[in-house]
Structure 1
Amino acid sequence: MTRATARLRRTVSALLSAVLAGGIAASAVATAPAAQADSWRDKEYWLKEAGITKAWEVSKGANVKVAVIDSGVDGGHPDLKGVLAGGHDVSGAGAPDGEKSIGAKPEHGTLVATMLAGRGHEPAKKATASAKPSPNATATASKTKPDGIMGVAPEAQILSVSTWLGSANPGGKSDQDQIPEAVRWAVDNGAKVINISLGSTSPEWPQSWDAAFLYAEQKDVVIVAAAGNRVGGNVQVGAPATIPGVLTVAGLDLNGQASTDSSSQGISIGVAAPAEKLAGGLPGGSYAEWAGTSGATPIVSGVAALIRSKWPEMSAKQVINRIVSTAKDEGSPGKDPLYGFGVLNAEAALKDDVAETKSNPLGSIADWIRVHRRGNLATPAPEPTAPAATAQATLPKATVPVAVPPSQLDSALPAAVVIGFGGLFIAIIVAGTVQLRRAYRATGGGVEDPETGAVTKVEPAHRRS
């Protein structure tokens, strides 16, 4: 291993350890005191605003497995009864089935899973003074809506892939080793969608990830990842959301605009979804309010599951194209680094006629490897260079206040241009001076008339002392 490669591995590992789990540090989790579960159901404003309740008229995600690569999922939560279809621990520190919450923020995976595929639960029966039931008791009970969190794809199944990220792993496996193993396991165990509510502050990723994401692409799996959150230090999108072909999710505030804190920016963003005042389940059966693209991501993953359930033969690139092409354009016209292709519209994604595409609108990891790794997955990566176009965040004038320092590329390019033109200008001046000196000496210190050839003597001017 070269010194440069080792340095890159240490840097990426440190960055991942700091903010993986979706910006766990950036996802504000506010655990509320005991409350009626139906009050949490009422908090799910995105089900209506993002068109999800209308999309349910077409599909609820049946027969689709979604892998949640996170901190483990508590399958005992009442809203997840019957939801988990299997699991695996890639950290070496948790339960083999991935159903034990582990890591620095163990509640994170359960929050994600309930938002993605929660099924709610029957409300608790209230004790009455009378033992004799009311004549309308049965009819009233049948109309009572379930309590708890209803996920975007309530008939989908979850594969829990638990990781230990964000702190020292007692199982010994690094972040760099866990992520590719998690992706491969999910693909091999039938996941049609993979949710990665994880992120880092670096747009680059270890070369060890290439083969796993290529494997998922070749096996026709949709990968959805969080863009990261400014409040957690992500001023631009970080890996794995910068990997070509991944559907990257940005965050919206309560007004449907790009969130200042609970989002990031970059050209790899595909679509934006609600990311503030979110509600989800916690291990042990409780609930919490939280924020961040960690929560926006399962909303989009759930819509992908709805589409894959409705059209089982539809390719991953067509699923992604359906989501981004039906998104409501917001911000700058067309694709932009704050909203991607626009704001998620689940109803349109399930009901509109969408033209087929020959390629994933968000790129291909296979093409990227061929160009930037020279098609080689085995040899160590050379000294880090500028990331690929899909991995390099752009820094245009934003429509929300963001503190975004210019990237090295953005600051270096204008400087190079200035130096280039400045050097050329100086070279011209120097060359002209040399020619004038030669002409002056050739004429004995005079000026030659170009028409007559006569030389006029030029006396030097007097200098002031």
Structure 2
Amino acid sequence: MRRALHAAAGALVLAAAVVIPSGRAMADGIRDQQWYLKALKVSEAHAISTGSGVTVAVIDSGVAPHQDLKGNLLAGYNFAIAKPDGRTDTEGHGTNMAGLIAGRGRGSTGILGIAPSAKILPLKGGNRDNFDSDIIAEAIDYAVAHKAQVINASLKAAPSIKLLKAVKDANAAGVVVVGASGNDGDTLVGYPAAASGALGVGATDKNGKHWADSTHGPTLQICAPGVDIITTGLRNKYTEADGTSDSAAIVSGAAALVRAKFPQLSADEIIHRITATADDNGTPGRDDNCGFGELNIVKALTADVPPLSGSSSASPSASTVAPAPAASTDVAAPPSAEKKGGSAPLIVGVVVVVLLVAGLVGFVAVRRQRRV
């Protein structure tokens, strides 16, 4: 049940998952086994946002069609054979992640994802032997070019120049890259989770505490549930497993909810909103085990979050809903430009008013002198 993460750097964070039959009685009980939905107050979050209008790219082993993903699975791309369509998955890992992010279930049965109205863009990188850092970089570039707003990378790879640049470019384009830290329990957080501009995610247990096998370190920013996680599997079945892969997928779903609610925010501001509202679950303040704490989706959607230091755009509360801006306004204007444009008209206006008042006083004085 523990996700295998002892392969060479550059391999997928894959799972030795328990396959659960998809018979009617079992399917009816699937939702009850999604304990993390209640822990994260997902029903309350869905009253605010369900991720409508957001596309989440899943860079993984592909995503197989599943009854609980019907209607929100796009074609994507297969980088293993350099051809369109990432809707094939022989290992199941990508299908697992897709269900956690955007499973729609069927009424009260089946898997309910964190962002059930979001679309999934499956980007198949191949099998664990050939899914390397540069392929991940290509997939990130593809996701940005095809208008994904969130990228889920539930995998652990070594850093490369192309991968670091791809993450940087995605961040600059307003795309949130979410990465899994790894399941080795050491301090070697994998990439892209450890890359500058990405959101590195670790795992917590059912008590909201750091999971012992979750890789941690100074680049880790947040944790989310990652133990006894049930989700979509191959052939319309379900699987249960442990790992930071699941945690990253849950956070990717949360990022989709926040993006849908606050379309005007930059990628950095969305990451800031998610981390600033996390529940501290360890040593007071930030720590290497879970960064800023455990994910709190409802607070991420509703709290008044001060903007990042040096940012000229605030991260508004849920009561402040602005329409989606044009693409050219994704990046806030520098503070110096804002001050220059905002203060000059005010000064001119004050001068004009003073001159008008002075003229009026002079006119009245002259009239009075003439009347004497």
Q: 1:177-222: per-residue Cα shift (whole Å, max 9, x none)? A: 311110000000011000000014xxx5112223212221221110
Report whether the alignment pairs 1:21 with 2:12: yes
Instruction: Tell me by how many angstroms 1:54 deviates.
Output: 1.2
Report whether the alignment pairs 1:297 with 2:269: no
Report whether the alignment pairs 1:78 with 2:67: yes
Q: 1:67-95: per-residue Cα shift (whole Å, max 9, x none)? A: 000000012x10000111330111227x6
**Separation (CA, whole Å) in 2 of partners of 1:197 and 1:359:** 31
Report whether the alignment pairs 1:193 with 2:159: no
Task: Write out aligned runs for 1:31-430 (5 A).
Answer: 31-35=19-23, 36-75=26-65, 77-92=66-81, 96-102=84-90, 106-121=91-106, 145-167=107-129, 169=130, 175-200=132-157, 205-230=159-184, 234-261=186-213, 263-358=214-309
Instruction: Tell me by how many angstroms 1:16 deviates.
Output: 2.7
Q: Partner amino acid for 1:293? A: T
Q: 1:350-390: per-residue Cα shift (whole Å, max 9, x none)? A: 11111111469xxxxxxxxxxxxxxxxxxxxxxxxxxxxxx
The more displaced of 350-359 and 39-48 is: 350-359
Q: Secondary structure at the match of 1:334?
A: coil
**Separation (CA, whole Å) in 2 of partners of 1:282 and 1:274:** 19
TM-score by length of 1: 0.63
Q: Partner amino acid for 2:71? A: G
Identity in percent:
40
Q: What's the counterpart of residue 371 of structure 1?
A: none
Unaligned 5+ segments in structure 1 are 1-13, 122-144, 361-465
Q: Partner amino acid for 2:43? A: T
Q: Partner amino acid for 2:100? A: M
Query: How many positions carry a matched residue from both structures?
Result: 303
Does structure 2 conserve the Cα–Cα contact (< 8 Å) formed by 1:282 and 1:288? yes
**Separation (CA, whole Å) in 2 of partners of 1:213 and 1:300:** 17
Does structure 2 conserve the Cα–Cα contact (< 8 Å) formed by 1:118 and 1:154? yes
Q: Which has the larger radius of gyration?
A: 1
**Separation (CA, whole Å) in 1 of partners of 2:236 and 2:21:** 12
Q: Secondary structure at the match of 2:235?
A: coil
**Separation (CA, whole Å) in 1 of partners of 2:69 and 2:21:** 21
Q: Partner amino acid for 1:245? A: G
Unaligned 5+ segments in structure 2 are 1-6, 312-372
Instruction: Tell me by how many angstroms 1:45 deviates.
Output: 1.1
Instruction: Tell me by how many angstroms 1:317 deviates.
Output: 1.1
Q: Secondary structure at the match of 2:189?
A: coil
Q: 1:124-181: per-residue Cα shift (whole Å, max 9, x none)? A: xxxxxxxxxxxxxxxxxxxxx43100000000001000011422x4xxxx61331111
Tell me: CA distance 1:65–1:28, structure 2 relative to 1, closer, same or farther (3 Å): same
**Separation (CA, whole Å) in 2 of partners of 1:332 and 1:46:** 23
